[in-house]
Amino acid sequence: MDGRSVQDLARRPMAAGESTRSPPEPDSSLRRVVAAMVIGACMALGIAPLLPPSPAPASAAAGEFSADRALRHVEVIAREPRPIGSRAGADARTYLVDTLQGLGLEPVLQETTAPDYYGAGGGSVEIVNVMARLPGSDSTGAVALVAHYDTVPATPGANDDAAGVAAVLESARALLAGPQVRNDVIVLLTDGEEPAPRFGATAFVEQHPWADDVRVAVVLEAIGNTGAAQLVETSRPNRGLIDAYAASASAPAAASFLPGLVEAIGGSGTDTAPLMEYGIAAMHFAHLHGSPIYHTEADDADSVDLGSLQHHGDHALGLARRFGSVDLAGERSGSDVYFTVGSGVLLRYPESWALPLSAVALVGCSVVLRRRRSMGAVKAVGLIVGALVLSGLAAMLIWRMLAGVRSSPRLGESYAYLAAFLVMAALIARELRRRGAQRGIDWVAGVLLVWTVFAVVAAVTVPAISYVFTWPLLGALLAVGLARRSQRTGALGQVALTVVAAVPAMVLSIPVVDALFQLAQPRPGNLDSQMLYTIGFVIVMGLLAIELIGVGLRSIASPDSASAESESVAAG
């Protein structure tokens, strides 16, 4: 304004011909409908990578993977628990040998001994890996398909890991039914994965000559019974692995956030660890949903989701054919940031871009906020951090109490709790925002500043997860900036700005919130893997996304809303 107060303007006489009407605003109800449609589409895009594909029937072509065919192996292998040294483990081993021989392969048994981890009297037991080799036409190295057939004593282990074993067996059958690949493919079915230090895989890399031939390994695992088979862990550098995955996966389910997080906490503790320590490039896939059944008697053949089993097989077979056709002797270099959008698009770029992109976001934030009240923004940061901490701590407390009462919640029930926690967090933030507006605190600036800090810190410390913060922030900054430059936006413009504000935040945040939520699940069968406190991080990430989307949408609905919350108080 030009220095005149609101009261002065109210007393000013009307100029001739001046209308008392404000310029027409876009219909608010239409705007809400458009926003709801965009948000719904964004949710669908964000959820799509978390869903497994449809299973192929037993009548599928011989060269294709069929979950129905693979399930027959699960039903035999997972009849009872198979801890190391047990009769049931020996029976499963006999079945694996017979199955491989039935495919025309020559099984190889690698025997070693390990402490009797589950026995009360100490001593040692025999560990036996079951292996077979599919020769290539002009091998430059070998590709290993890896799963373990042992279990802890309390579970039949249909998902962990009879499903992985079945996927490897069915993939080997499909490979033999198709054209011969260039490189050797090794079937590696390990024993003794459950107790550390992963006896079977460790024995393979330390004692068996085939380990020197393996250039890349695909490890299949599970801690739940449903959901997409997600890329949980990779060796580094990862660019060659991600290139092969992008070229072979028809339904990719990968985002570098999860491998980056797993690496940051010290690894997943599966057969992947000794393989990577030996210098073998590795990719570890697992389906995570429904993990309260992990290591319990509920992990039986009836619990296996055919879609998840199909996804395991599609990954194993596709990567075996892809790695089987390239020169595996080449040097590996470079790592990428990557994420999946929708049900089939895997986007990626070099990790070296993470810091420059965060710098762009930092500059963009300073441009958008250059005329704002610095103290109002600083106070808003404090309020927002308070909302995050309060919401996270409340969720942790309630979740721990729920886990004591409902230690094995059903999938739908579990997500209902998550929705309730997010609503609680949003209401807490809304109340703090209302109180802040009464005191002239600039909430919009605070949200953008908090996101900018997260984006820069992530780019510096863990570039693999930086995209989670950088791209949503850039989208929100662009939406806020464009909305403020154009006081009146037509219907088409509002749709475009809504897309810019909502798509990056929702599409990229939903898989992250979901992954953290799976880590936070109660697991009565394995308390060592139970990380209930992670629910706090789930709510923090969810609330950050909600508030960022809110900033963008409010700016679009009212271009001056970026400053209205504070100026309205001053004017009054």
What pLDDT is attached to residue 374?
Answer: 64
Determine contact, residues 226/159, Cβ cutoff 8 Å: no
pLDDT over 90 at 12, yes or no: no
pLDDT tens per residue, range 46-77: 999 999 999 999 999 999 999 999 999 999 99
Q: How far is CA 484 from CA 369, 490, 569, in A?
A: 11, 14, 20
Average pLDDT of span 227-253: 96
| Residue 288: closest CA among 263, 320, 253, 260 | 253
Rg of the chain in Å (alpha carbons): 27
Determine contact, residues 187/250, Cβ cutoff 8 Å: no
- The pLDDT confidence band at residue 566, using thresholds 50, 70 and 90, is very low
- Two tokens, residue 318: 């596709």
- The pLDDT confidence band at residue 20, using thresholds 50, 70 and 90, is very low
DSSP-derived pairing of the beta strands 184-190 and 124-134: antiparallel
Q: How far apart are alpha carbons 215 and 273 in whole angstroms?
A: 15
Determine contact, residues 343/155, Cβ cutoff 8 Å: no
What pLDDT is attached to residue 90?
Answer: 98
Average pLDDT of span 197-221: 97
Determine contact, residues 307/167, Cβ cutoff 8 Å: no
Average pLDDT of span 116-141: 93
Average pLDDT of span 412-416: 96
CB count in 10 Å sphere of residue 357: 21
What pLDDT is attached to residue 27?
Answer: 58
pLDDT over 60 at 5, yes or no: no
The alpha helices in 66-145, defined as continuous H runs, are 67-77, 87-102
- The pLDDT confidence band at residue 570, using thresholds 50, 70 and 90, is very low
Average pLDDT of span 353-374: 89
pLDDT tens per residue, range 87-96: 999 999 999 9
Instruction: Indicate the range of 142-146, 221-225, 364-368 predicted with least confidence.
Output: 364-368
First to last CA, the chain: 15
